[in-house]
Every structure is written in structure tokens, then in C-alpha cells.
């Protein structure tokens, strides 16, 4: 299934959308839309895909997404369990880059925000003190009325545009090669992998699930995502392992097997290749780093 063109309803009385969501889980499929999106995950954990970037998200995740960049938010498996009692809370702002008129961004004073819109094509994760400033503003903008809505949005964008506390998510190569009309099986592959990543998987098995030959599958996946399927699967497994390590409910051997690895030495080697540290170092670093 190709990424879905999502329609954003701003309502007749508003020029852009502000939405507060509380749901049992997130799984909004691989999709894109012409609106720029600023999303704050107030509460929740899972996996976030932006272009060719895949990262775990958790409470406090704050991301700015540019026009038409494909993305997906999927809650951890525990959220889909019946009677889990878990919920996801989020605030999302959607706006078109020209909602304030055709010439506003051409003003010289708007040059930093115009550059921000261009950089947002790769997805931007907000960090540090900028994160705190923006999330406080987003909590307030929910209740803003009239011109104050636009004023507060402009202030938020100006804060982001002037900040160095950012992380670009997707690669420049993905942005320049993405074609929304030519990615018809990616969502199926993602969904199958998220469902089965803890199990032993083969290229033949996944290819068969999406009706491709193994050779065509490998070529298709690399062309659409700029990475191999094994790299993608490894990132999912290591991301899930990070979540288990943070939860501190399993020892490292248990984490390895729960994440789809057949032996501990391979897990340690692959974890280090992705995270640039051992699982033990990751746990120690996480526990000694102040969390947002």
C-alpha cells in the first residue's frame, strides 16, 4: 500500500488545525500530507518513522515535519493488548506553509522561518531547553482564540528557527528521491515486520508476504528506503531492546532474546554497531542523563 495522502480538516473558523488527542494507541499508517506538522507526544511510547529514519519515541517526543514527508507513529505492542489500560496523549498542529498568504514568507524578517520550513522536509526533533519552551507554548495554544493563535504559532516557529537544539531525522538522499506514487508496498512491509520482528525472519518469508520474489523485494526495499531490509529489521530490534533496557524489567540476555536475537554475542555486537555503545553502557548512560 502506498503512503496515504491524509486530509487535514482545519474547520471553517480556523486557518490551521490544533488538535489534542487521547487514544488507546497510535497506528496511523505510512502517510503524508501537504500540511507542516508539529507533534508533541505528551504521553506514550512506540516507534516513529520519518522518511528513512526510525527511532523509538516516548513521553515528551517533539517533532516538526515538513510538507509531504511520509511518516508513521506506532505504539508499542503493549498498547494493543486488550484491557491494557494504556493511553497515548498528543498535541498536533497542522498548517500549510502559505496559510498566512503568498508573500508573507518572502519578507526579509521571515528568512529564518523560511529556512526552517525547508529543513523540516527531513523532519526535526526538538531537544533541550527549546523542547521545554515549545511544549509549554503548545499546551497554551490549544486554548488560544482569534489572532492569538497565529501569534503563538509564529512565536513557536521563531523559537525553533533560532535554536541549535535540533536533530535532523531523515537523510537528505531520501527527501530528494522520495516519490509518493511509487511506494505501494512499503506499508505492508512495515506492518508485517512490526508484527513479526521478534521471530526468526528470512527475506523469502517477508517477500512472500508482500507477493514479491526475494530479488525483487531486496531491490524494491533498497530503492524505496535507501537501506537494506536487514538494516531496517536490525534497527527495529535494537530500538525495541533499548525500550526493554530502559524499563529495567529484564536482564541483558532476556532483552536479547525478547528482541529477536538468537544469541547474546550477536546481540551485543549489533547493539554496539547501531548505538555506538554496549547495552551495559546504554543503561548506565540513560540512568545518569536527565530526562525531559
Three cell numbers at 66? 515538513
Domains of the chain: 4-174 (2.60.120.10), 185-288 (1.10.10.60)
Helix (H, G, I), strand (E, B) or coil at 4: strand
State the average pLDDT over residues 106-125.
Answer: 92
- Confidence at residue 266, expressed as pLDDT on a 0 to 100 scale: 93
Three cell numbers at 32? 503524508
- Residue-wise DSSP of 73-95: EEE-GGGGSTT----EEEEEEEE
Confidence of residue 178 (pLDDT cuts 50, 70, 90): low
Q: Inform me whether the pLDDT recorded for 270 exceeds 90.
A: yes
Q: Inform me whether the pLDDT recorded for 99 exceeds 70.
A: yes
Neighbours of 179 (CB within 10 A): 9
Q: Inform me whether the pLDDT recorded for 289 exceeds 60.
A: no
7 vs 158 pLDDT, higher one: 158
Model pLDDT for residues 142-165, shown as the tens digit of each residue: 888 889 999 999 999 999 999 999
Question: What percentage of the chain reaches a pLDDT higher than 90?
Answer: 46
- Confidence at residue 2, expressed as pLDDT on a 0 to 100 scale: 45
Q: Inform me whether the pLDDT recorded for 227 exceeds 90.
A: no
Q: Which DSSP letter does residue 68 get?
A: T
Neighbours of 103 (CB within 10 A): 9
State the average pLDDT over residues 205-220.
Answer: 93
Q: Does this model's pTM top 0.85?
A: no
- Confidence at residue 88, expressed as pLDDT on a 0 to 100 scale: 92
State the average pLDDT over residues 158-187.
Answer: 76
Confidence of residue 290 (pLDDT cuts 50, 70, 90): very low
In this structure, the chain runs to a length of 292
Three cell numbers at 281? 553502557
- Rg of the chain over Cα atoms, rounded to whole angstroms, equals 20
Q: Inform me whether the pLDDT recorded for 292 exceeds 60.
A: no
State the average pLDDT over residues 235-246.
Answer: 83
Average of per-residue pLDDT values in the chain:
85
Q: Inform me whether the pLDDT recorded for 39 exceeds 70.
A: yes
Residues 6+ apart with CB under 8 A from 99: 15, 16
Question: What percentage of the chain reaches a pLDDT higher than 70?
Answer: 88
- Confidence at residue 81, expressed as pLDDT on a 0 to 100 scale: 85
- Confidence at residue 25, expressed as pLDDT on a 0 to 100 scale: 87
Q: Inform me whether the pLDDT recorded for 167 exceeds 80.
A: yes
Amino acid at each position: 500500500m502506498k503512503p496515504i495522502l491524509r486530509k487535514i480538516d482545519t474547520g471553517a473558523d480556523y486557518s490551521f488545525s490544533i488538535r489534542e488527542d487521547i487514544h488507546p494507541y497510535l497506528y496511523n499508517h505510512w502517510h503524508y500530507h501537504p500540511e507542516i506538522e508539529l507533534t508533541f507526544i505528551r504521553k506514550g511510547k512506540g516507534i516513529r518513522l520519518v522518511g528513512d529514519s526510525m527511532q523509538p519515541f516516548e513521553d515528551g517526543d517533539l517533532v516538526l515535519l515538513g510538507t509531504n514527508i511520509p511518516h508513521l507513529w506506532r505504539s508499542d505492542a503493549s498498547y494493543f493488548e486488550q484491557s491494557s489500560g494504556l493511553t497515548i496523549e498528543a498535541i498536533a498542529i497542522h498548517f500549510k506553509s502559505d496559510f498566512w498568504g503568498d508573500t508573507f514568507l518572502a519578507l526579509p524578517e521571515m528568512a529564518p522561518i523560511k529556512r526552517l520550513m525547508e529543513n523540516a522536509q527531513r523532519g526535526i526533533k526538538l531537544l533541550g531547553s527549546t523542547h521545554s519552551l515549545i511544549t509549554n507554548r503548545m499546551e497554551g495554544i490549544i486554548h488560544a482564540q482569534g489572532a492569538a493563535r497565529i501569534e503563538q504559532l509564529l512565536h513557536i516557529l521563531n523559537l525553533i528557527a533560532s535554536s541549535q537544539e535540533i536533530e535532523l531525522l531523515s537523510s537528505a538522499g531520501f527527501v530528494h528521491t522520495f516519490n509518493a506514487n511509487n511506494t505501494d508496498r512499503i506499508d505492508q512491509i512495515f506492518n508485517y515486520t512490526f508484527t513479526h520482528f521478534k521471530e526468526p525472519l528470512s527475506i523469502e518469508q517477508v517477500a512472500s508476504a508482500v507477493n514479491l520474489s526475494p530479488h525483487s523485494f531486496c531491490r524494491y526495499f533498497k530503492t524505496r528506503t535507501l537501506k537494506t531490509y536487514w538494516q531496517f529489521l536490525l534497527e527495529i530490534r535494537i530500538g525495541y531492546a533499548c525500550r526493554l533496557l530502559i524499563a529495567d524489567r529484564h536482564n541483558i540476555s532476556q532483552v536479547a532474546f525478547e528482541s529477536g536475537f538468537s544469541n547474546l554475542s550477536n546481540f551485543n555486537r549489533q547493539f554496539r554497531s547501531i548505538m555506538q555503545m554496549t547495552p551495559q553502557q546504554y543503561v548506565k548512560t540513560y540512568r545518569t542523563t536527565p530526562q525531559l
